[in-house]
Structure 1
Amino acid sequence: MEKMQKGKKDIKSTIVLVIALFVFIYALVRLCLIFWEYTKGQKSYDRLEEFTNTVEAEDSSDVVPEDFSVDFEALKKINPDIVGWIRFENMDISYPVVHGTDNEYYLTHTFDKQEIKCGSIFVEAENAADFSDDNTFIYGHNMKDKSMFAKLNQFKDEQIYRENPEFLIYTEDAVYRYNIFSCYVADVSWDSFTYQFGSEESYGEWLQNVKEKSNYDTGITPTQEQKTVTLMTCTPDGENYRFLVHGTLVEVIERKTE
C-alpha cells in the first residue's frame, strides 16, 4: 500500500515537473520572440540617421537652436507614405511620420514597410496628410524599451513638461512648431479623441475641454483659430486608457530652398 501511494506521489511530482518545464520553455520562447522583435525594430530605426543632418547654428540667438534637416526625397523613395518628421529637441523622440489609408497597417509596419510590432509613428487615416485639420492625431506605440511614443507617458510629471514644452514637425515645405498645452490620461470614451468638428464654436469648446483635463496648468490656452496636433500612446493605467499630449501651432518656418 505504501509503495502504491509513493508511486502515485512520484507520478504527480513528475507531472508537475513536466508542466513546470513546459511553462518555462513557453516563457523562454516568448521572451526570445519579444527580444527578436525589439532587435528587428531597433535595426530598422537605426537607419534614420542616414536621412537627417544636425548642424550647430552660428548665431545662438536663432529661433531654432540647431539646424536640423530631413532628406525627404530619399525617404519618399523608400516609402511615399512618409509625410513628415516629428522631433522633441531635448527628448529622445525623433521619427518619420507616415499617413496610410487606414489605422491598421502602420500599427505593425515600420516607416520602410517592414512587418515589425513596433510599427510606425502615423497620422490618423481620416486626417489630412498635411496637418491642416483643426486637430490632427498622431499615434505611436508605448514600447517597453522606451522607443517610439513610450516617453510621452513621462509628461505625467510637470517637470518633464517644463523641460520639453514644445515639439516640431518637419515637412518638405516647412517646419511647424507646437507648444504643448495639455497632458493627461484619457478614457477612450471621452471626446478628447475628436478630430473632426462641425463648426469653429465646437472646436473652441473642445479646446477648452481638453485644456481643463490637463494634469497641470501649462499657462497656454489655444484659440479656435489655432491648429492643434494630439499625440497619443498607450499607458499602463489600463486597457481603455491612452496618454494624450496636445500641442497648439505657434509658428510655421518655411523650409529654405537652394
Structure 2
Amino acid sequence: MASHFRRTDDERAGSHRPARGAAGSHARRSDGGVRTRRGGDESYHAPSSNPHAAGIPHRADAAYIPAVGGPDDGRSRRSSRFVETDPYDLSGRRSRDPRKRAARIVSVLLFVVGIALIATAAGMWIYNQWQYHEQDRINEELASFADVSDNGTTPPQVDWAGLKAINDEVVGWVQIPGTVVNFPVYQASDNEKYLNQSAEGGYAVGGQIFMDYANTPPGMVDGQSLIYGHHMRNGTMFKTVSDMTNQEMFDGVGTVWYVTEDATYELEPLLVYETDASDPEARRFTFASDDELHDYLSGLLGKAVTSRADAADVISRTSHVLTLCTCNYDHGDNGRTLLVCVPKDEANGTAASDGSAPADAATTTE
C-alpha cells in the first residue's frame, strides 16, 4: 500500500522531524507555527503576520490581478493586436469601433421595425375580425325579415314591406336549405355598388347579395338571371357555392329557392363550372331561342367540375336558369365559380308547353 503514496520532503529528511506528542495531532514549531496532521497529509499554518514563516516563496512583484482592470491600473489599454469579439471590451466600456456602433444602431432599428410590424399585423387581424363580425350582424338582421322552414320544403315567407323600408332596391330572396345561403337580393344601376355596401348604405366587407344590373328585374325573366355574392373566408355569404365544386356537396343540395314579391321559384342544381372574371360568356342573359340557350348550357356542361348525372337531358328541356356566382381563390382573386340552377318543373319535364311557368314551379304570391 505504501507505493500508492508519495513521500514528502519532510519524510525523506526524517532526522529533522520533531517527535510527536502523546496525542499525535499537533506539534509546536520553533518559529511559532503549528503543524497539523490532516487526512494523511501535512500542512503548516503560520501566523498571518508572517507569511514567509510557512515556507511559501515570495516574489516582490506578486499581486492579485483582477479579470477586469480598474481605470488607472494600466491594463485597460488595448494592444494594437487586440481583436474584439463582442460589443463590450474587458474594461466594461462599450466599443468605440464605428462599425460596431453602426451595427448596434441597425439592430435597434430592426428591433423597433419588427415590433411595429407585429403590432400592425395584430391590428389588421383585429380589424378584420371586427369587419366579419359586423357583416354577420348585418346578415342576421336582414335574415329576420324572412321565415324559412326547417326542412326547406316550403319557400321563405318574406316581409317585403320591412325590407323596402330599409332599401327599396331589393328584388328577391335566395335560399339554399341546409346551408348559410338565406339572403335578400338587391339590384343597382351597376355591379359595383353592393360589393362593399350594406343595404343601409354603410360599408360592409361582404356587401350584399345582388343581381346583375343588366338582368331584367326581378329575375327569372331572361334566359339566364345572374346573382353575385362574396366568398367569405369564414364560410358565410356564397361560400356554399364554391364548396359545391365537390360532387358530394353538390349532390347534397336538392332545392334552391328564389322568391320575388310576385312569384316563387323552386329550382335545383344543374352544374357547377369555373372561369375567370374576364369571361364574357358568363354574362349572357338573353338568347334568340331555347335552342341557343341549350347550346350555351351544353358548352358550360363541357367544362363543368360537378353536375347532375342527367344534365344533358335536363338541358334539352330548359328555358330559364338562375346562376349564382362567387369568387374562388385557386388563381388569386380573379377566379369565379358559378352554380347553374334550373326550375324543377323544367328539370322534371312538367313545364307548360307554351313556355309559361306552371303553378308548381312559379306561383304567384299575393
Question: TM-score when scaled to structure 2?
Answer: 0.64
Matched, 1:223 2:311: no
Between the aligned partners of 2:150 and 2:268, the Cα distance in structure 1 is 23
Equivalent of 2:183, from 90, 95, 113? Answer: 95
Structure 1 partner of 2:301: 211
Residue 226 of structure 2 is matched in structure 1 by 137
Take 1:56 and 1:103, find their aligned partners in 2: how far apart are those partners? 33
Amino acid in the other structure paired with 2:182? S
Residue pair 1:186, 1:192 contacting (<8 A) in 2 also? no
Q: Secondary structure of the equivalent of 2:144?
A: helix
> What's 1:196 paired with?
285
Residue pairs, 1:179-194, within 5 angstroms = 179-194=268-283
Give me the whole-angstrom Cα distance separating, in 2, the residues matched to 1:127 and 1:256: 22
Task: Return the offset for 1:197.
Answer: 3.9
Structure 1 distance, partners of 2:251, 2:145, is 29
- Which of the pair is proportionally richer in strand? 1
Match of 2:134 in 1: 40
Change (3 A) 1:126 1:31: same
Deviations 1:119-176 (A, max 9, x none): 0100001111121011111001111111111121111110111111331101111211
Identity of matched residues, %? 22
Supply the distance in 2 between the matched residues of 1:207 and 1:177 (Cα, whole angstroms): 19
Residue 127 of structure 1 contacts residue 195 of structure 1 at CA under 8 Å; is this kept in 2? no
Equivalent residue number for residue 330 of structure 2:
237
Q: Does 1:7 align with 2:101?
A: yes
Deviations 1:35-89 (A, max 9, x none): 22112111212213431224579xxxxxx62463111111111111001110001
Which contiguous aligned blocks of 4+ residues in structure 1 show a shift greater than 3 angstroms?
A: 54-57, 188-192
Pair 1:113–1:256, CA change in 2 (3 A): same
**Aligned equivalents of 2:146, 2:250: Cα separation in 1:** 25
The within-5 A match list for 1:12-91 is 12-54=106-148, 65-66=153-154, 68-91=156-179
- Aligned twin of 1:61: none
- Unpaired runs of at least 5, structure 1: 58-63
Structure with the bigger RCO (C-alpha within 8 Å, sep 6+) is: 1
Higher mean C-alpha displacement, 100-109 vs 231-240: 231-240
Q: What is the CA-CA distance between 1:190 and the residue it aligns to?
A: 3.7
In the aligned structure 1, how far is the partner of 2:213 from the partner of 2:274?
23
Higher helix share: 1
Whichever residue aligns with residue 91 of structure 1, its letter is T
Aligned residue identity for 1:154: D
In 1: Cα distance, 2:150 partner to 2:235 partner:
27
Check if 1:178 corresponds to 2:272.
Answer: no
Q: Kindly tell me: are residues 47 and 170 of structure 1, through their superposed partners in 2, closer, same or farther at Cα, counting changes over 3 Å?
A: same
Asked whether 1:254 is paired with 2:343, we answer: no
The structural deviation recorded for 1:255 is: 4.3
Change beyond 3 A, Cα 1:41–1:16: same
Structure 1 residue 18: deviation in Å? 1.3
Question: Does the 8 Å contact 2:197/2:208 carry over to 1?
Answer: yes
Query: Unaligned 5+ residue runs, structure 2?
Result: 1-82, 85-94, 346-360
Letter in 2 for 1:166: T
Please list the CA deviations of residues 190-238 of structure 1 after superposition, one character each: whole Å capped at 9, or x if unmatched: 4541323452243222111112211134122323751111111110111
Query: TM-score scaled to structure 1, two decimals?
Result: 0.89
RMSD (Å), alpha carbons? 2.1
